[in-house]
Chain A
């Protein structure tokens, strides 16, 4: 089983600022890494797949990078609707999720 570790657990950011979220895999997952956004009471939404490709309809302020075991999700200028919990997921093998990073208003 591939263990995904996200940091930090909580990130306090002011609107308009940049947010950088990290995700680490216990073994290489190549570029088979996705990021999801989840808001309270809603199902997760796919943001990024293939480590760096934005899903359909996702704004350009969301970007992903990394390969192997280290990955980053960057939100260039946080909007009010971006405050949520973000999960990384590897799908190089049977899928597994990280524990999540909550992005909250500072």
Chain B
């Protein structure tokens, strides 16, 4: 059974940093691209960042570019999101999501999602 379990969220002051983790199991982690998607309270889904299976391709939404860094450790079956210079508008539930096709040379839809970890940026 595929499982994605996010952790690392919490209350943080504006300007500070936080590192999110996503522990994956039930599939061959290093075969698949992975993504972070966030959802502000009562709002829609916003793609945040994605990383290819071999970390050769990495992308960010304009809203987080230069502040957030995605990475993965295939030996630990884990995905990370380093979030620096946090702002109030970064407050959201952060989901980890798996792409549906392994070893893909293009992007694919997300077939599994975690339950999310809540990040609240407030003084």
Contact = CB atoms under 8 A, between A and B. Distances in A.
A46 B111 contact: yes
B59 interface: yes
Contacts, number: 59
Given A91-B108, A94-B59, A49 B95 contact: no
A1 B62 contact: yes
B100 A97 contact: no
A49 B47 contact: no
Contacts of A95: 35, 47, 50, 107
B109 A96 contact: no
Contacts of A34: 109-110
Contacts of A87: 44-45
Contacts of A92: 107
A41 to B, nearest CB: 9
Contact of A46 (B50, B107, B109, B116): B109
Given A89-B109, A94-B50, A43 B115 contact: yes
B114 interface: yes
A55 interface: yes
Contact of B111 (A55, A89, A93, A94): A55
B2 to A, nearest CB: 12
Interface string B67-103: 0000000000000000000000000000100001000
A49 B100 contact: yes
Interface size class of A (residues with CB under 8 A): 20 to 34
A68 B88 CA distance: 36
Contacts of B109: 34, 46, 49, 89, 91
Interface in B19-48: 35, 37, 44-47
Given A43-B95, A94-B59, A95-B50, A100 B45 contact: yes
B44 A94 contact: no
Given A49-B108, A89-B45, A96-B47, 6 more contacts: A34-B109, A44-B110, A45-B113, A46-B100, A94-B61, A100-B44
Interface of A: 1, 32, 34, 36, 38, 43-46, 49, 55, 85, 87, 89, 91-100
